[in-house]
Copies of this chain bind each other. A is one copy, B any other.
Amino acid sequence: MKTQIKFVAFVAVSIDGIIAKSNNSGTDWTSKEDWNFFQKSLSKMDAVIVGHNTYKTAQKRLDKRNTVVLTSKINKLKLVGSVTFLNPKYSDILDFLNKKKYKKIAILGGPKVYNFCLQNRMINELFVTIEPYVFSNGVYMFKGDKFMKHKFILESIKKLNKKGTILLKYRYAN
């Protein structure tokens, strides 16, 4: 299905690719410069897509947005205020987003959602913020079943602060 929607994924990671300590922990370890960039970016988006764990870690903020929560726990679309719970196994997400006339959509994770969107060609741009830490263990950015090679093209590099938080902007290239 052809769509004019632009999907932009945002992710903040450690040097070793970790986004959180566990599935239920938030991203309170990121820099305020990244937070500012992130909030400014979200203000230009029509809607956000998150997984159920990510939704729970930031429910208060996400309830104020047009939020689509991908979840395997329901069969039918469920609407609560501006939040839609959708099981992509039973509901066509592109169909839903098109009907809503959303043009710019932010993908906010977690790993299964990033991966679902990647597999379904729903990542056009990817913003990666790398904070200067090594965590050694935790939750990784993408969570796929097997090794694949998705090509991206680097569009820009920006240093966000003195300690060395960097922001990379990629475009999907496959």
- A residues with a Cβ closer than 8 A to B are 13, 15-18, 21-22, 29, 115, 118, 126, 128, 130, 132-138, 140-155, 157, 159, 163-166, 168, 170, 173
Instruction: Tell me the smallest distance from the CB of A142 to a CB of chain B, in Å.
Output: 5
Q: Give the residue name and chain of the B residue nearest to A159 (CB).
A: B157
Given the known inter-chain contacts A17-B140, A141-B17, please indicate yes or no for A133 contacting B147, CB distance below 8 A: no
Known: A13-B17, A17-B140. A132 touches B147 (CB 8 A): no
- Give the docked Cα–Cα distance between A159 and B157 (Å): 9
Q: A140-B16, A170-B164 are in contact. Are A133 and B152 (CB under 8 A)?
A: yes
**26 A-B residue pairings within 8 Å (CB atoms):** A15-B168, A15-B170, A16-B17, A16-B140, A16-B141, A16-B142, A17-B140, A21-B147, A118-B134, A132-B151, A132-B152, A132-B154, A132-B170, A133-B150, A134-B142, A135-B149, A135-B150, A136-B146, A136-B147, A137-B144, A154-B164, A154-B166, A155-B164, A157-B157, A164-B170, A166-B168
Question: Are A136 and B115 within 8 A (Cβ)?
Answer: yes
Point out the residue from B138, B144, B154, B164 that lies within 8 Å of A163, measured CB to CB. Answer: B154
Cα A36 to Cα B150 in complex, Å, equals: 24
Task: Supply 5 further A-B pairs (C-beta < 8 A) apart from A132-B170, A152-B164.
Answer: A16-B17, A132-B151, A136-B150, A140-B140, A164-B170
Residues of B within 8 A of A16 (CB): 17, 140-142
The residue in chain B whose Cβ has the minimal distance to the Cβ of A169 is B164
